[in-house]
Structure 1
Amino acid sequence: MKVAALQMVSTPRVADNLDQARTLIAQAAAAGAELVALPEYFCLMGLRDADKLAIAEPLALAAAADPAVAPMQAMLAEAARTHGVWVIGGTLPITSHEANRVFNTTLVYNPAGERVARYDKIHLFCFDDGERRYNEAATLTPGERPIAFWLTDRAGDRWRVGLSVCYDLRFPELFRQLGQPDPLDLIVLPAAFTDTTGRAHWELLLRARAVENLCHVLAPAQGGLHENGRRTYGHSLVVGPWGEVLAVQPEGAGVVLAELDRARQDEVRRQLPALTHRVMRG
């Protein structure tokens, strides 16, 4: 199955970001991708953290989203339906039960444009090196449930796909839980990694998650200097089940394409059946 990680350098303008997302999805579909994934906050990289509160959408019905009420969700559903592809909508702010907070939410749409999965980011990023400070808990409500779903590709093969977002990458127990009772075939991790932490840990941790779970990883990212002055690390990539990088783009908007090889994954699991050797399952 061919997949695409869509890299963006999102702006403070939702309309511009949605236009770029549409273009990248169309390019990926034209190149043969069956599954396309947008980065975290594909819809907005605001001038202030609180800007996301102003554009938050209520969760729409699974099979329909009113463009007047939920334009971001409507765009994702329409793009999936128009191009006949699976779309993983990076993240967008969905209204929360908590005042002045939103969920940082990944939504998944099948080729018919129907929403089939929702994941709210569980682990909230916090970082302070004296120059840069981030505290997602100030504006986000954390999710509570790991989410995985089944995808059937055009060849009829079924893939178990685990959802995660950015800072989740640092918590391997999440991916172990996602792999129960059925092992994961693909981890999808939209991100907006900072340049500082990305240089140190991004590729290292993504490859580790692939090796630990003997599965593929698809990681679309924000990649470049944003209008708010923040620099994101980029390096959207696809990793194979042996930990090999199959495709990567360092910076700038673009489409990162790779072929997921089910036969290779099965071979790796036969040669090194580590998933069957687990002893500690708490």
Structure 2
Amino acid sequence: MRATVFQANTGVDPLLGTRALVEAAERAAGEGADMLFTPEMSAVLDRDRVRAAGSIVTEDEDVALAAMRETAAKHGLWIHLGSLAVRDANDDGRYANRGYVIDASGAIRARYDKIHLFDVDLPDGQSIRESAAYKPGDQAVVVDTPWGRLGLSVCYDLRFPDLFRALSDAGATMLSVPAAFTVPTGKAHWHVLLRARAIEAGAYVIAAAQSGRHADGRQTFGHSLVVDPWGEVLLDMGDKQGVSMVELDLAKVTDARSRIPVLHHRRAIGSVEVAR
């Protein structure tokens, strides 16, 4: 499988964000990619929630989603659109942070709403309350592709190994982690967590990330990674924006899982005894 990763520096204008996505998809297709992976909040990244509200619409109205479906069909390219902020018809006033898998005909094959929301006060002074604007998802999602089963997550989900256990238990041989990691947490934990998730599952991890100083003033860590099932980093994009391709040998999944068959050795853990 030829996987292309788009490392973005998304701003506050959905039309500019859409243009960048289409350009990335066209370049990926032109270079012979089978599937494109894009980061969290691929079209608009804006922490000014009053301003951002004007750009958040329903799926049917979203220009980025429509453009990526059209581009996928035009080029016969699968796309994991890492996530978009979207409105639901029946909601509680909060949005969904939703990822999409689009097949080579332009059809939406899977949707995933980010389950774990990032509410934290960071050492650099940032205070982030994702749950104030977004509602959490409640369903883990895998999707079949021509190259294997893909498990979906978004950014902060990376810190919750139970989700990735559920995805690999459901047959995922690839795990996608689109993200907009902050710089302090990225420096501390990004590489080690992604490698750990790959090793635990014996699966490929593809993590498309946001990078650099954004129009809303935030700075993201970058370092989009592809990690193989043995934990080897096959691609690290550093802080540059653009697209990079890597070839995935899916036979490595079988090899890693046969060498250390942790999936077969997993056992459900019930209650915990507290010894005194």
TM range (shorter): over 0.9
Structure 2 match to 1:258: 246
Which position in structure 1 is the counterpart of 2:133?
139
| Separation in 2, partners of 1:275, 1:129 | 35
- Check the 8 A contact 1:50/1:139 in 2, yes or no: no
Work out whether 1:201 is the aligned partner of 2:189.
yes
Whether the 8 Å contact between 1:35 and 1:87 is mirrored in structure 2 is yes
Deviates more, 1:169-178 or 1:270-279: 270-279
Question: Aligned in 2, Cα 1:19/1:52: closer, same or farther, shift over 3 Å?
Answer: same
User: Which structure 2 segments of 5+ residues have no match?
Assistant: 271-276
Kindly provide the amino acid, as one letter, of the partner of residue 136 in structure 2.
Answer: P
Give the aligned partner of residue 34 of structure 2: 34
Q: Does 1:151 align with 2:145?
A: yes
1:174 has 2:163 as partner: yes
Flag structure 1 segments of 5+ consecutive residues without an equivalent.
Answer: 61-68, 154-158
Measured in 2, the distance between the counterparts of 1:50 and 1:168 equals: 26
Q: 2: distance between equivalents of 1:29 and 1:217?
A: 21
Structure 2 equivalent of residue 82 of structure 1: 74
The one-letter amino acid paired with 1:188 is S
Q: Say which of 237, 241, 244 aligns to 2:229.
A: 241
The aligned amino acid for 1:82 is K
Matched, 1:43 2:35: no
CA apart distance, 1:262: 1.4
Q: Which residue identity lines up with residue 152 of structure 1 in the other structure?
A: P
Query: Would you say the 8 A contact 2:176–2:207 is kept in 1?
Result: yes
CA distance in 2, matches of 1:133, 1:50: 17
Counterpart check, 1:11 vs 2:19: no
Give the paired residue count.
268
Q: Does 1:125 align with 2:125?
A: no
CA contact (8 A) 1:57 1:94 kept: yes
Structure-to-structure mapping, 1:97-108, within 5 angstroms? 97-108=90-101
The AA in structure 1 aligned to 2:149 is R
Offset at residue 57 of structure 1 (A): 2.6
TM-score w.r.t. structure 2 length? 0.93
The answer as to whether partners of 1:235 and 1:251 remain within 8 angstroms in 2 is yes
Q: CA RMSD in A?
A: 1.5
- 1:72 CA displacement: 1.9
| Corresponding residue of 1:185 | 173
**For residues 80 and 43 of structure 1, what CA distance do their matches in structure 2 show?**
16
* Cα distance in structure 1, aligned partners of 2:19 and 2:134: 26
- Cα distance in 2 for partners of 1:46, 1:264 equals 39
